Structure formats: structure tokens, C-alpha cells
Amino acid sequence: MLYTLYETQRSLMEPFADLAQATAKFYSNPLNPFGHTQTAHRISAAYDLMHRLGKDYEKPEFGIRTVQVDGVEVAIHERVELDKPFCELRRFKRFSDDPDTLTKLKDQPVVLVVAPLSGHYATLLRDTVRTMLSGHKVYITDWKNARMVPLAEGDFHLDDYVNYVQEFIRHLQGKYGNCHVMSVCQPTVPVLAAISLMASRGETTPLSMTMMGGPIDARRSPTAVNDLATQRSYEWFENNVIYPVPAKFPGAGRMVYPGFLQHTGFIAMNPDRHATSHYDYFRNLVKGDDASAEAHRKFYDEYNAVLDMDAHYYLETIRTVFQEFALVKGTWDVRNPQGVPERVRPQDITHTALLTVEGELDDISGCGQTQAAHGLCSGIPEQARHHLEVQGAGHYGIFSGRRWRELVYPKVRAFILDADASKPRPAVAALPLAEKRAA
């Protein structure tokens, strides 16, 4: 019922948000005889802020058109490589006509970036992807909004997430021989499970796994997120945050954890900071500081765009990761696509290098939660395991922004290159002309 009421309220607000946008443009129009007055600027700024507070935020696009590779501009073509009911494996294919650059692109490592399924879209990792493209072939898991997935596609469980990751890894191994995996935040747990299961079966595992700011052991340095999960029972979450998708969407009737509830939780963690940010946006509009205003828009266009999660996946994550701590206790069984349960044993991983990254000021996954992977992956030689704590970085700072680009990425790149050196090198055959232009 709450979801239906929310959508009804949002639909009623939509015309007022559009009207606020039109009014803001009217008062800021240079042809308006009063448009250059301070009063007009303040009125325009107020209506612009009203529009942004009331509008509906749709899924943003990655929008990565080009990247620099050693000073050469390389074109990017984004395409869907695999399309699953709840996720797309998205590739960012690089094109160049420069022979030297093309040779570099062909030899660079292949990285699967596993994006979080925790309320925001994979585009939250835009800066991560853009930076990685300068030195890697990049694929990313682009999770779908559950309200857009028809009931006929079935449910989505945490086990399905693990099986998806394994399927994507096998796809890249079949195409390139092997790959590297990077998981950011929430997926560190299912990614570690996926690679553990592959190792236990005797399958080839990725050359490396980079785990950034994730709740491998949520008991360490618990944050507000961890406290909420432990202070409330599984039944509380089931009864208070799960709702059916309203009739207007393709996934009508699907039980989900709605994105708007997750967004409310995000805001509630730092309400003063968000209020200050919106007030600063208003003042920047009045002052005519277009650069600062545009930076605000870009951030909140991403931050306010949220997706619904299938109820089974959400509730199982709460129970498995944040209440039972099944991974670190060695009690987690994952059902494979054939429905057979398999025990997750990280100690069986022996040929995959491990890098964990944490932010000193992370208020989502506390310090030590990700580093706990080293104790679980005892089968990986010590010289192939590394840890990086980024001083002064919060949760988002380890994969986006200046600290990511200047402090974290150089370490990640060196780690991947070192692990990639162990990959067997097949003989290079002559490529058709069409293949020579892309990587």
C-alpha cells in the first residue's frame, strides 16, 4: 500500500515540478525585462530548487564517449554483451586508428567490474569505469530495476546473484582465456562466494580479485548500516520494508524493497549535509556560479536515481551477510543453477591474487570489514595478498573522485598488471582489418 501511495503522490507532484521548472526558466530568461534583477534571480533559483526536489529521477546513462590512453583520445562504444532477466553484462569497447595505441589496447588486462545492487544504478561507478578504461578492457554488471522485470521471469535470490557472477566470469574466460574481477561495496560477498565455488569445483578462477569497501565481515567496526540490520529481526524487515510493485509497471505484483525507501535511508544518514548542499545550490544559482550548480546537478542526478530490489534477494542479503555472518562462519550454502546446495569455502582459492581496499572514514563498511577476506582466503599465498587503506577517504572516495584516481587506481592497476603477468600468453595470429581497429 505504501508503494502505491508513494507513486500516487509522485504522479500528483509531477505537473507542479514541471511548472516550477518552467517558472524558473521564465524568470532567468534574458529576454525577460526583469530577468537581470536580484529578485528575479532569487525567484528563479527557488523554483529551480523546487523542481529538483519534486522531479522523478530516471536511470542516468554512463555517457563515456572517449578516454585518454597515454595522451591519445580513444573512442568508446557501449554495448550489452549478455542480457539476463535481472542484469546486463555491459561492455565498453575501445576504438582507435593509431597503430601504437591499438597495440596497447589489445594487450591490456580484462576486468569485470561487479557493481553494487544496493539501491543505486551501476552508473554510480561511472568514474571508476572511465578511469579503468585508460588501462583495461572493462565490463560491468548493470543491474536492472526489479519493478521493470515481469513476474514471468521468476524471483531473484542472493544465490542467483552468485550464479550470475560465475556465468559472467566464464563468459570472459571463454573469450579472453581469463580475466580479473573488481567488486565495489555490497558485491564483495557474492563475488567471493562465486570465486570460492569455482575453486572448490576445480574450475579456473580469475587471475585476481579486487574488493573495495565491502561487508565481508560486518561484525568489524560496525556502522549505522550494520546496526540497523542487527537491531531489527528478519521478520521486521519482511513486514515493514517489502511492498508489491504498483500496477503501472511491467513488474506489477513483484515483491520488492522499493528504491524510494532506500533513498530515504541514504538521506537520513546525513540529513544536515544534504540540506546544506541544497541551500548552497540555491545560493550558487543566485550568484550565477554555474560551475558549482552544475556539479550539484550531476551528483544528485545520480544520487537520487534509485532502483527496486527483489524482496528475496534483499531479505536473504540481510540475513546471510548482516545477521548470520554465514560467509565468515563457514556456514553459507549456495544453490547452483541445478538447485544443488554447495558450501562456500574461500580457503579453496589458491590461484587468484587478492587486493582489499578500505577508506579510513568509510561510514558504510567500517575499517576491517573488507580486510577480513585475507583471513578467509588462507589458500592464497601471502605474497599474492595485499591491502590498502586510503587515508582521509570515505566510502565513495575509494572508487570515485580525486583520491580514487590519484591514490587508489595506481595501486589497483599495478596489482592487476602483476597478476596478469602470470597468465599464459597464446600465440598472436594475424587479425582481420575490422578487428584491428577495436579492443
Listing DSSP states for 318-371 in one string gives IIIIIIS-HHHHT--EEE-TTS-EEE--GGG--SSEEEEEEETT-SSS-TTTTT
Which residues neighbour 126 within 8 Å (Cβ) at sequence distance 6 or greater? Answer: 60, 62, 63, 64, 302, 400
Largest CA distance in the chain: 75
Mean pLDDT of 76-89: 97
Is 175 inside any structural domain? yes
Quote the pLDDT of residue 431.
42
* 313: CATH: 3.40.50.1820
Domain limits for position 281:
2-56+272-303
Residue 433 has pLDDT above 70, yes or no: no
% of the chain with per-residue pLDDT over 70: 96
**Same domain for 8 and 134?**
no
pLDDT the model gives residue 214 = 96
Query: Residue 340 has which C-alpha cell?
Result: 544443488
What confidence tens digit (pLDDT) does each residue in 290-341 have? 999 999 998 888 888 999 999 999 999 999 999 999 999 999 999 999 999 9
Q: Is the pLDDT assigned to residue 24 strictly greater than 70?
A: yes
Nearest CA among 257, 277, 279 for reference residue 267: 277
Is residue 438 within 8 A of residue 95, CB to CB? The reply is: yes
Give residue 439's pLDDT.
Answer: 59
Q: Does 316 share its domain with 393?
A: yes
Identify whether residues 334 and 196 lie together within a single domain. yes
Among 128, 117, 125, 203, smallest CA distance to 156 is for 117
Summarize pLDDT for 169-185 with one digit per residue, the tens: 999 999 999 999 999 99
| CA dihedral for 59, 307, 82, 151, sign (positive or negative) | negative
Residue 11: other Cβ atoms inside 10 A? 11
**Is residue 196, in this structure, part of any structural domain at all?**
yes
pLDDT above 70 for 430 = no
Q: Which residues of 322-345 are buried (b: 16+ CB within 10 A; e: fewer)?
A: bbebbbbeeebebeeeeeeebebb
Find the range with the poorest average confidence among 297-301, 343-347, 368-372, 433-437.
433-437
Residue 438 within a domain: no
- Determine the pLDDT at residue 29: 85
What burial class does residue 118 get, using C-beta atoms within 10 Å of its C-beta: 0-12 exposed, 13-18 middle, 19+ buried?
A: buried
State whether 120 and 224 are in the same domain. Answer: yes
- Please tell me the total count of domains within the chain: 2
Q: Count how many Cα atoms sit within 13 Å of the Cα of residue 284 in the half-sphere of its side chain.
A: 16
> Domain ends where: 303, 321, 346?
303
For 123-135, what is the mean pLDDT? 96
Whether the CB-CB separation of 219 and 325 falls below 8 Å is answered with: yes
Distance CA 118, CA 176 (A): 30
Contacts of 138 (CB under 8 A, 6+ apart): 91, 92, 111, 113, 129, 132
Q: In what order do the strands lie in the sheet with 72-83?
A: 66-69, 72-83, 87-95, 137-143, 110-114, 180-184, 208-212, 353-359, 385-390
In a domain, 128, yes or no: yes
pLDDT at 427: 44
Are 314 and 390 part of one and the same domain? yes
DSSP assignment of 173-210 equals: HHHHS--EEEEESTTHHHHHHHHHHHHHHTPPPPSEEE
